[in-house]
Each structure stands twice: as structure tokens, then as C-alpha cells.
Amino acid sequence: QVSYSHAIHASGFFIAFFVSFIFTCAVFFIIYRTQILKQSLHNENQEVQHELSQNHKLEHSQFHSGDLFSEDIIMNDQIIDILSFEESGNMLQALEDLEVASLTRADADMEAYRMKICKEVIAMMMRNMVLSHSLFPHVEKRMSSIFKKQFLTMEKEIQDEYERKMVALTAECNLETRKKMEAQHQKARNANEEAEELMKKMNEKPAVEYRSLLERLHRLEQDHLKRFLLVKQEEYFAKAYRQLAVTQRKELHNIFFTQITNATFKGELNLEAAKTLVEDYSKIQGDIEELMDFLQANKKYHLNRRFAYRNYLISKIQLRDSQASALINAAAIQISSLINKMERAGHLPGSHLGVLLDRAEAEINSVKQKFDHDLKQEKQKLRRKLITKRRQEMLQKKEHQKEQLSLGDPFKTMKEITLYLSHWKNLLSDHAIEFEELIEKLDNEASEDLKELLCSVTEKAVEELKRVQCGVFVQELVRLNVPKGFLLEAVEGHKKEMIVKHEQLEREERDKSLAAEELLQLTRQKLSQELETSMTEQKKLRRWEQSVFMQLLSLPLSLSEEELLRTRQELHCCFSQVDSSLAWPKIRARTLLQDFEVERRDTELLKVDQNLAMTNKQQHCKVKRTGSRNRNKIDILKKSLQDKIFIYEDSVKDENLNKVS
């Protein structure tokens, strides 16, 4: 009796543990890409709602598999837009958004593979029962037909539930977005009305400065609110997807065990054969879970490696952009420097200085505008060329991989299921390596093409500035009786300065590129170590899981065959959820980081408002004259706005990330 009691407590402990554990494992997520919107409230809401709708369409293939290959290819086009057109300061944020989208897409792929493998394994097991004479062929045919119908029904029900959840969540999120955006706009309108009253009492220049600061603050407030709402909604949808994925996995197990029970009850499957089938199913499910653990860990490694390399490419592009700006600015400064030098030397009358400097500024701005325009136009042309080439090569690779997948169909008819799972493992591993090598090659080629383009357009801009200096201003200065010899000497000095500047920038590029390459190698080594560690830990978890499974089944409990079967079924439903995740850690980290940042920002903003209230109170007591009081008030308000702008622009640094982990 004591032994029996301990067995009950042990089984209760293990089952309770798993029930509590599995609810902490969230896997599936929503693709989203944050955009900075600058339109009216109505358009802002429409934009956010449209974005969420697009996210749902992409995620649709988790439960209704579409053309995963073409989605992969289209998503990979986005890196070209990031490298080509994203502002330098926004590149890493855009890359992180693309990384979440790619991780989410990968999770959807893994779920599709899981369902495909599980259904094919069940079909193989049934055929093996016929080969071992444990099941009549006509019974196997009938049961296989039932399995197919029920799998289709399950998928349709999951899809219907998915659509219901998406409609409800979208409506809820849109309502929340509309309310918060309306509140934000009302706050901005109130602030603007108060500012208008205040600006009526002040001079034009302070009023313009104050209005500019206020508009800047309102834009920052709106941008941060949109980001906050989208990240929160990302987490909502991720949880909903996980629930549906778990439901689908559990339902697949339920279908299998229900059919075995029915076949046994009808006498189509004898008891011993049913026991053998269920035991084989348990063992094979363990093998499938190990296979999925490997595939997910392997996919995570390759995706992390991909984005580490893209991070490296972005650092190189940012360096090139800053160097291009440095070269153009150096050439531009020489023009005004030449004019000032002539004036200081006494060769240029002061009455001409201002006119020439204004003309120089206009010429320089014209060259810079042409540089920006030409660079944008050339990048558009290059983008089309890169994406065409990229899609061709990726489609070719994907089509080849699809052919290899179809060649694996004969494995479905083999008796040894272990070989079938091994085939999937080797094939998908090889495909991942081949595809990542291709993506890295294409990313690098795009980066090099963009480098050549930037160098070419920059060189033309620098040459144009030299022409302006020598062909316009040197001639104008000569016309104003500045000694030609003195001018040519100054121009030669400028040429030498540009050569020195070029050499300095080349050395800087070599040094920083070398440091970036070393960091990339260290990152790759770390990723390899993390892969080994995660695989080891997951294998330990699976071994412990199997140990618990066997101990529970071997306990001397007075269970009927039906109860024992139901126990196996529940355990499989639990164990199928103890899987690793790709996108969820990133999504959760973004949410926690944002919560931390919002809390920090609200605290700092409250301090600014309290200081403003205290200062206003003190100034009201001290200053008696109306004019002085207005001037002091606007200065205080401007300082308050500047402090708030700084708080919004001061994002959470890397050293604070541990606080939100």
C-alpha cells in the first residue's frame, strides 16, 4: 500500500510538472516590420492595420502551407532595400525586424515539416503492420483512408480557428491603436493650442524655435507609441500562434490513438498488435522529437550566422557612407577656405567676402543635391539588377532542392522508419548549408556592387567640387585682382590635403574592416559553441523525458488498457511541446526591452515635468514685469522640451540589456 501511494504521488508530480512546464514554451510568431509613419491619424491607423493584415497573411502558412520557397525569396529581397536605401542610423533596427521575420518564417517551415513527417510516419507504420501480417490489407487501406480524412478535417478546423483568432485579435489591436493614437493626437493638439497662446506674446525667432522643438517632440512621441503598440501586438499574435500549433500537435496524437482504440474495439486489430503498434509509435515519436530538435537548432545556427554576417556588412556600409561624406565635405570646405584665405591675406576686399561665401554655399549645396539625386537613381537601377539576379539564383537553388525532396518519396515505402528520418535529417541539413552559402555570396556581391557605386558617384561629386573651386572661384578671384600665383599655390596645397585625406580614410577603413572581420570570426565561433551546448542540453532533456515516460509506464498502477493508452496519449501531447523555439526569444526580448525603456522614459519625463512646475513657481514669485516673465517662461519651456527630446532619443544601451533578461 505504501509503494502504491508513492507511485500515485510520483505520477502526479511528473504530470503536474509537465503541465506547468509546457505552458512556458512559446514558439510561433508574427512577421512585422516597423515603419515610421508621417501622415494623419486616419492614415496612420490604416497603415498599422494594413501592416498587421500583411503579417497574418505571411503567418497563414503555419497552418495552411503555401509556397514557402517563394515567400523565402521575396523576404530575402528586403536585405537589398536595407543595404541600399535605409538611413544609416536605422539599418540595425531594420535588420532586427527582418531577423524576427526570418525566424518566424523558419518556425513556420519547421512546423510544416513536423506535420508532414508525423503523417507520413503513421502511414509507414500501417504499411509495416501489413508486411508483418499483423493487419489485413483491406483494414490498413480503410484505416489509412480514415487517417487522411481526419488529418484534412483537423487542418481545416485549425485553419478556421486561426482565422477566427486573427479577426478577433486584429479588431482588438486596431481598437487599442485607434484609442491610443487619438489620445496622443489630442495631447499634441492641447500642447499646440497652449503654445500658440504663448507665442503671441513673444518675438518671432524664439517662437519659431519653440514651435520646431514642439513638433520634433510630438513626432518622437508618436513614433515611440507606434513602436510600442506594434511590439505589444507582435507578442499577442505570437501567443495565439503557439496555442494553435500546440492544438494541432495534440490533435494529431488524438487522431492516432482514437483510431487504434476503435480498430481494437471492432476486432480489426488484435490486442497484441495494438500494443506493438502503440509502443513503436512511442519510440518513433521520440525519434521525431530528436529530429525536430536537431533541425531547429541547426536552423537557428544558420540564421544567426546569416544575420551576424549581415551586421558585418552593415558596419562596412556605414563606414563607407561616413567616408564618402567626409571626402565631399573636405572638398567643399576647401572652397570657402580658399575665399577666406584670400581675404585674410588682404588680397580680397571685405565687401566681396560675403557675396562670394554665399555663392560658394549655393554651389556646394547644388553639388550635394546632385550627389544625393544621382546616388538614389543609380541605387534604384542597381537594386533592380541585384534583385533579378538574386531571385534567379535562389529560385534555381530552391527548385533543385524541391526536386531532391520529391526524390525522397521512395523512402516512404521502405520498412525501416529510422532510415526515413535519417534521410530527412541529412537532406534538410544539406539544404540549409547550401542555401546559406548562396545567401552569403549574394549578400556580399550586393555589398561590393554598392561599394563600387558609392565610390563612383562620390568621386564624381568630389571632381565637380574641384571644378567649382578651380573653374569658378579661382577665375572669379583672379577677376577681382587676387594674385594668380598666390591662388595657384593655395590650390596646390588643397590638392595635397585631399591626397592626405584619401590616405587617412583608406587607413581608417583597413583598420576598422580588420576589427569588424575579427569580431565576425569571434561571433561565428561563439555561435558554433552555442549550437553544441544547446544540442547537448536538449538531448539531456529528451533523455530525462524518456526516463520519466518509462518510469510512469512501469509503475504498478491498476490501469485498464484503455486508461494506459490514454496515459500514453497525454504524455505524448505533453512531450511534443517541450521543443526549442526560434523567434520567441527574440520577440520576448524586444517586449521586455521596450517595457524597460518605457518605464525608464516615463520616470525621466515625470522628473522633467516636476522640475518645470517647480521652476515656474519660483519664477512667478521672483519676476514681476510681464515682458521678462514671458522671456523667462519661453526659455524654461524650451529647456524642458530639449530635455524631453533627449530622453526619447536616448535609447537603452547594450549594457542595460541584462536588466531586462
> According to the model, what pLDDT value does residue 553 have?
72
- Per the structure block, which three cell numbers stand in for 47? 497603415
Cβ burial, residue 485 (10 Å; 0-12/13-18/19+):
exposed
Over 80: is that where the pLDDT of 110 sits? yes
Decide which of 281 and 200 is more confident: 281
Give the closest residue to 144 by CA, choosing from 130, 158, 157: 130
Over 60: is that where the pLDDT of 73 sits? yes
Judge whether 308 and 441 are in contact, CB under 8 Å: no
Rounded CA separation 165/157 (Å): 12
> According to the model, what pLDDT value does residue 631 have?
64
> According to the model, what pLDDT value does residue 28 have?
34
How does the average pLDDT of the chain come out, rounded? 82
Q: What are phi and psi for residue 428, nearest 5 degrees?
A: -70, -35
> According to the model, what pLDDT value does residue 250 have?
92
Percent of the chain scoring above 70 in pLDDT? 83
Label residue 545 by pLDDT band (50, 70, 90): confident
Over 50: is that where the pLDDT of 12 sits? no
- Per the structure block, which three cell numbers stand in for 155? 487542418
Judge whether 121 and 417 are in contact, CB under 8 Å: yes
Alpha carbon distances (Å) from 250 to 104, 246, 259, 347: 21, 6, 14, 89
Over 60: is that where the pLDDT of 393 sits? yes
Rounded CA separation 56/50 (Å): 10
| Helix, strand, coil percent values for the chain (each to nearest 5) | 90, 0, 10
Label residue 34 by pLDDT band (50, 70, 90): very low
> According to the model, what pLDDT value does residue 10 have?
38
Rounded CA separation 476/222 (Å): 50
Rounded CA separation 553/133 (Å): 27
Over 50: is that where the pLDDT of 60 sits? no
Residue for grid cell 563612383: 456
Residue 308 CA to its chain's centroid (Å): 13
Over 60: is that where the pLDDT of 550 sits? yes
Label residue 4 by pLDDT band (50, 70, 90): very low
> According to the model, what pLDDT value does residue 574 have?
83
Residue 187 CA to its chain's centroid (Å): 31
Amino acid at 584: W
Give the closest residue to 107 by CA, choosing from 336, 286, 303: 303
Give the number of other Cβ atoms within 10 Å of residue 115's Cβ.
Answer: 20
Residues 6+ apart with CB under 8 A from 138: none
- Per the structure block, which three cell numbers stand in for 344? 585674410
Residue for grid cell 598666390: 486
Rounded CA separation 406/383 (Å): 34
- Across the range 508-524, mean pLDDT stands at 95
Residue for grid cell 494529431: 252
Label residue 479 by pLDDT band (50, 70, 90): confident
Residue 582 has what DSSP assignment?
Answer: S
CA torsion through residues 45, 48, 51, 56, sign: negative
Rounded CA separation 107/113 (Å): 10
Judge whether 565 and 199 are in contact, CB under 8 Å: no
Over 50: is that where the pLDDT of 6 sits? no
Domain range summary for the chain, segments of one domain joined by +:
305-551
- Per the structure block, which three cell numbers stand in for 117? 513527417
Rounded CA separation 630/3 (Å): 86
Over 50: is that where the pLDDT of 43 sits? no
- Across the range 373-378, mean pLDDT stands at 96
Decide which of 37 and 557 is more confident: 557
First to last CA, the chain: 47
Residues 6+ apart with CB under 8 A from 375: 453, 454, 457
- Across the range 225-235, mean pLDDT stands at 86
> According to the model, what pLDDT value does residue 623 have?
53
> According to the model, what pLDDT value does residue 44 have?
46
Q: Which ranges of 68-136 does DSSP label H, i.e. alpha helix?
A: 68-85, 91-131
Label residue 30 by pLDDT band (50, 70, 90): very low
Label residue 573 by pLDDT band (50, 70, 90): confident
> According to the model, what pLDDT value does residue 435 have?
93
C-alpha dihedral (350, 352, 354, 359), degrees to nearest 10 = -160
Annotate 225-275 with DSSP letters as a single string: HHHHHHHHHHHHHHHHHHHHHHHHHHHHHHHHHHHHHHHHHTTSS-HHHHH
Amino acid at 467: R
Largest CA distance in the chain: 117
- Per the structure block, which three cell numbers stand in for 413? 515505402
Q: What are phi and psi for residue 344, nearest 5 degrees?
A: -65, -30
C-alpha dihedral (73, 75, 80, 84), degrees to nearest 10 = 160
Q: Which ranges of 408-416 does DSSP label H, i.e. alpha helix?
A: none
Residue 472 has what DSSP assignment?
Answer: I
Helix (H, G, I), strand (E, B) or coil at 413: helix
Give the number of other Cβ atoms within 10 Å of residue 450's Cβ.
Answer: 22
> According to the model, what pLDDT value does residue 11 have?
42
Alpha carbon distances (Å) from 243 to 22, 158, 246, 263, 592: 11, 10, 5, 30, 21
Residues 6+ apart with CB under 8 A from 509: 319, 320, 323
> According to the model, what pLDDT value does residue 551 have?
81
Helix (H, G, I), strand (E, B) or coil at 555: coil
Burial letters for 488-516: b for 16+ Cβ neighbours within 10 Å, e otherwise? eebbeebeeebeebeeebeeeeeebeeeb
- Per the structure block, which three cell numbers stand in for 72? 523565402
138-163 confidence digits (pLDDT tens): 989 999 999 999 999 998 998 888 88
**Rounded to two decimals, what is the model's pTM?**
0.82
Angle of helix 91-131 relative to helix 41-59, nearest 10 degrees?
A: 30
Residue for grid cell 517586449: 591
Rounded CA separation 97/200 (Å): 44
Rounded CA separation 285/421 (Å): 11
Q: Which of 105-109, 232-236, 518-522, 616-620 has the highest mean pLDDT?
A: 518-522
Rounded CA separation 505/99 (Å): 32
Annotate 13-39 with DSSP letters as a single string: HHHHHHHHHHTT--------------S
> According to the model, what pLDDT value does residue 254 have?
93
Amino acid at 388: T
- Across the range 168-174, mean pLDDT stands at 86
Percent of the chain scoring above 90 in pLDDT? 41
Cβ burial, residue 150 (10 Å; 0-12/13-18/19+):
middle
Over 60: is that where the pLDDT of 366 sits? yes
Residue 408 has what DSSP assignment?
Answer: T
Give the number of other Cβ atoms within 10 Å of residue 452's Cβ.
Answer: 10
